[in-house]
Amino acid sequence: MDSYLKKTYDTKDRFVSYWQQINMTLGFEPTSVLVVGKGNGLIEWYLKKKVDRVVSIDIDGSLQPDVVGDVRNMPFQDNEFDVALCAEVLEHLPYEDFTKSLSGLKRVAKKGIVLSLPHWGYTFKIGIKIPFLGELNKVFKLSGSKVHEYKGEHYWEIGKKGYPVKRIVQDIEGAGYEVGHHFVEYNSPYHHFFKLLIK
C-alpha cells in the first residue's frame, strides 16, 4: 500500500489514466462494475458515487479490497457484473496467463471490459487545436526493439520485443472478444486502452 501513497505515484499522467478508466467504464452505462486491482482506491471510490454496485478484487489483502482473489480464478458468478475494469494489472502476470485472465473476465462481465496495459516505446506526439474545429491529437510509438527484463513488477509490456500490438489484439480476439476500440492515450502515452465487447 505504501507505494500507492508516495507523492511520486500520482502524476499528471496517472490522473489522465484515471479519467480515461472512469470515462470508458461509465460509457457502458453499467449498474454494476468489478474493479480488478484495487490500487490506491481512487477509481473504486469515484465509481461508487456513480454506479449502484461496485466491487473491488485484488490479490493483495493489505489493500483492503472487497474480495481477496486472483483474476485467473474469479470467485464470482457468471455474468455477475455489467462491466469489469482491469487497468494495469495483467502485465504483472506471465504472458501465458493473459488469455486465461481474459476468459475469466469475460465469464463474469455481461457487457464488456475496460482494459489498460503498459505500452513501451519512443513516443512522438502531434497536437493541434483550431478554433471552431476542435483538436486533432496523434500519438506514434517507435517500439519492438527492446527486450523486456522482469525486475519484480512487469512480466511483459506492449511494444517490447515479441509483444507487438497486433499480437495482443489477436490474443484478445482469440479469447472471445470483439475489440471495439483501442488506443494510446495522448496525454498518458504509456497507457494503451482497450474497449472489449462480449461476443
The span from the CA of 18 to the CA of 187, in Å, is 12
Domains contained in the chain, number: 1
**pLDDT at residue 105 in the model:** 97
Distances (CA, A) of 58 to 63, 73, 193: 8, 12, 20
Global confidence as pTM: 0.93
Domain containing 125: what range? Answer: 2-198
Which set of grid coordinates corresponds to residue 64?
483492503
**pLDDT at residue 36 in the model:** 98
Which set of grid coordinates corresponds to residue 166?
497486433
Identify the CATH number of the domain in which residue 106 sits: 3.40.50.150
**pLDDT at residue 1 in the model:** 55
Distances (CA, A) of 177 to 49, 107, 172: 29, 11, 6
Q: Which residues of the chain have pLDDT under 50?
A: none
**pLDDT at residue 134 in the model:** 87
